[in-house]
Amino acid sequence: MSTLDVTPVSLLETVKGDIRSVNFFNGRLLAGEDLSAEQQAQRAERLLLGRALGDGVSYGLEVYEDPARSSQAQPVVSVEPGVAVSRDGATLALDGRTDVALASVALTVVDSDAGASVFSDCLTATPGTYTSGAGVYVLTLGPSAVPQGRAPSNGQSDAGAPCAVDASVEGVQFRLVGVPGMTAAELAPSFAPRLRNHVAHLMLGTNDPARRRFLVDPLGPRLTSYGRLDEMLASGLLTTAEVPLAALAWTETHGLEFVDLWSVRRRLTRRTETDRTPSGLEAQAAVPRPPYTGDRARSEADALYLQFERHVEDLRGTGTLETLAAASVFEYLPAAGLLPLARPGSRGIVPETFFGAQASQDGATIDADLVAPLLHEARAHEPIAVGQEPVQLYLQWESELAVQSGDSAHAVLVFAKHTVPYRGVRRYGYARYGAGRVSRW
């Protein structure tokens, strides 16, 4: 039907919605169906509210390998309590820290009230679900429910005894879904050091062909889907009822290679005009919706930065930062970030080794007050392709003074993509000759 064939509504005329609420009054005869209908109406309203707030992780639900219980053949991860909202708008709450056996039906709930969380077998028949073998997987949290207790009945119900359940207890369940399209080269041992960063940017769609085409032709075809997560959702491997928590890589030789949250984890993200299919007059006008606008773009920029930050912290714990070259671990860096500098008594990078020929050579410094604005502005820039484009380095001045005075052992290096406006502060008495420039390259 054409939009021109629809009669316009009048001002103050009620436009009916889809939620029907039962009208209660004294003397009305009620059946079980009436009360069920009222429950469904209230649930529909909650789902609308959840979709308005956005989907993703509200707080908690951090995932990490449990070293005490995990083994190469039987990996176990722990999930902290927290709350998430699915794309359907459902609230998913985990009340206590929970150990999840990824290759076993045994699941343990720790410090949680009985019945507060419900879990199903990870080994289901769902395509892409973990069984065994090397691969990359996404751990998700979804809804579940179990019947509890028996309700008294007067024997007049047509439903019979199977329906005489006292309550349905809502809970959650974990699912492990295999990431499709991973090649043998990507899963080879020689690629393992770069796999974590590679997977993160596959999920974010950094180098997705559709997204790259859009960046060079933003007024061309509308783009609403990019990245491996969108592909998994479109193919049915992931559902709108569940929330991704972490990406995991498993190999037969080492077991869990990494547990990475922010490659798939997102904060609560509002689904705006960018994320729906146009209809009516909007479709006829073919209005473009850039992927770098809206809450999704901001949420993914936050995730990109936090993924890098967490990855660096994990590398710092291995004691390998001093000899680390970015190209050996990273394919992309965020457009700006912080790195620890190697100093006596503290672990960190050596700029010449880490960045190589990409690094600026001017010895620039930056004030602490300018770091946050730089990081926020850089969120709108594309990631840094390692080995392919210049990177501006800054020594954070206050942290350097604290190191020199003995108040701190942690000198901080700030890096930024060459497209981010220069933020160096001129200090001729400290930096090398020429460091006080106001232009960049």
pLDDT in tens, 284-341: 444 445 566 788 889 999 999 999 999 999 998 888 888 999 999 999 999 999 999 9
Contact assessment for residue 209 and residue 223, using Cβ atoms and an 8 Å cutoff: no
Secondary-structure breakdown of the chain: helix, strand, coil percentages, each rounded to the nearest 5: 30, 25, 45
Using pLDDT thresholds of 50, 70 and 90, give the confidence band for residue 168: low
> Strand (E) positions, 186-342?
243-251, 255-260, 332-333, 336-340
Among the listed residues 438, 413, 231, the one whose alpha carbon sits nearest the alpha carbon of residue 333: 413
> Are 299 and 269 within 8 A, CB to CB?
yes
Give tens-digit pLDDT for 381-434. 999 999 999 999 999 999 888 888 888 778 899 999 999 999 998 776 554 433
pLDDT score of 344 more than 60: yes
Provide mean pLDDT across the span 343-372.
89
Q: How far is CA 41 from CA 48, 139, 161, 266, in A?
A: 11, 31, 26, 29
Return the percentage of the chain with pLDDT > 70, whole number.
78
Tens digit of pLDDT for each residue in 218-250? 877 777 789 999 999 999 999 999 999 999 998
pLDDT band per the 50, 70, 90 thresholds, residue 111: very low
Question: Under a CB-based contact definition with an 8 Å cutoff, are residues 341 and 351 in contact?
Answer: yes
Distance separating alpha carbons of residues 111 and 101, to the nearest angstrom: 17
CA distances from 96 to 138, 175, 200, 297 (A): 21, 18, 28, 32
**What's the whole-model pTM score?**
0.81
Predicted confidence band of residue 154 (pLDDT cuts 50, 70, 90):
low
Residue with tokens 């969120």: 379
Terminal Cα-to-Cα distance of the chain (whole angstroms): 59
Question: Taking 90 as the threshold, does the pLDDT of residue 115 lie above it?
Answer: no
User: By mean pLDDT, which of 100-109, 193-202, 294-303, 401-410 is the weakest?
Assistant: 100-109
